[in-house]
A = this chain, B = another copy of it.
Amino acid sequence: MRISDLSRQAGVSIATIKFYLREGLLPPGTATGRNQAVYGENHLRRLELIRAFTQIGQLELTTVRQLLGAIEDSRQPIVQLYELVDQACSTPEPGKGASAEHLRGAKSDVDTFLDDLGWRVGTVTPARERLTAVVAALRRLGCECGVEFFADYAAAAETQAVKELDLLSADGAEADRAAAVVRSVLLDAAMAALRRLAQEHHVATRFGLVPDGAARRSA
């Protein structure tokens, strides 16, 4: 298909496609003449991946480039793919500025919590650091909610991790690898959305508000 068709089908502007081509995020099309090229299904799929990562996952292009590279490189074992996602979705220095004392206390609580769950996880992964930073910040801000607050989520996360892995085939095909990364990144947004929706429902219930109506419209 021509670039204009690609643009229409992917819902991405021609200017953006040209930018991705220049940046190497999208492989070049097949040249059909001077300044003309045709693009295939792989370009369409790649554009949809990029859009999902940037638009829903809110990832930066340098991170997207890394993820795409790792998806394509089938020598990278799937465990490394998940590690990369963890890094890609992490925030730099989540605990920066927190006092050593707060961080130590939070770290010890997180360690105990994860040990009790029986999870075998690295001692220095970005995810563990982020969880520690959240616990430390909540404590520092006087928002009492201990790690046990997370138990239900941990159980749900575990159930879903297993379900997600069940969806992968053993041969680690590229489509599978892409799907693993896509789910891992996008489901964060889904989970956050579910939290808000549950909150909305229960706030409305508790404060006796009319559903989907008065409170919102009078805002």
Q: Which chain B residues border A192 with CB–CB below 8 Å?
A: 89, 127, 130, 188, 191-192
* Residues on B with beta carbons closer than 8 Å to the beta carbon of A56: 91, 94, 130, 133-134, 137
A108 at interface by CB-CB < 8 Å: no
Out of B78, B150, B193, which one reaches A131, CB within 8 Å? B193
Chosen A-B contacts, 16 in total, with CB atoms closer than 8 Å, are A11-B98, A55-B96, A56-B94, A89-B192, A119-B198, A122-B212, A127-B194, A128-B197, A133-B189, A134-B190, A138-B183, A143-B183, A145-B183, A150-B190, A155-B156, A165-B203
Question: Least Cβ distance of A37 to chain B in Å?
Answer: 21
Chain B residues lying within 8 Å of A165, measured Cβ to Cβ, are: 199, 202-203, 206
Contact between B51 and A161 (Cβ–Cβ < 8 Å)?
no
CA of A156 to CA of B154 in the docked complex: distance in angstroms?
9
Interface class of chain A by DSSP: helix
Give complex CA distance A89, B188 in Å.
12
Q: Please, which residues of chain B bring their CB within 8 A of the CB of A126?
A: 196
A125 touches B (CB below 8 Å): yes
- Complex interface: chain B residues within 8 A of A45 (CB): 141
Pairs of residues from A and B, 9 with the lowest C-beta to C-beta distance, nearest first: A11-B97, A120-B211, A127-B196, A157-B198, A119-B201, A152-B156, A156-B156, A161-B198, A131-B193
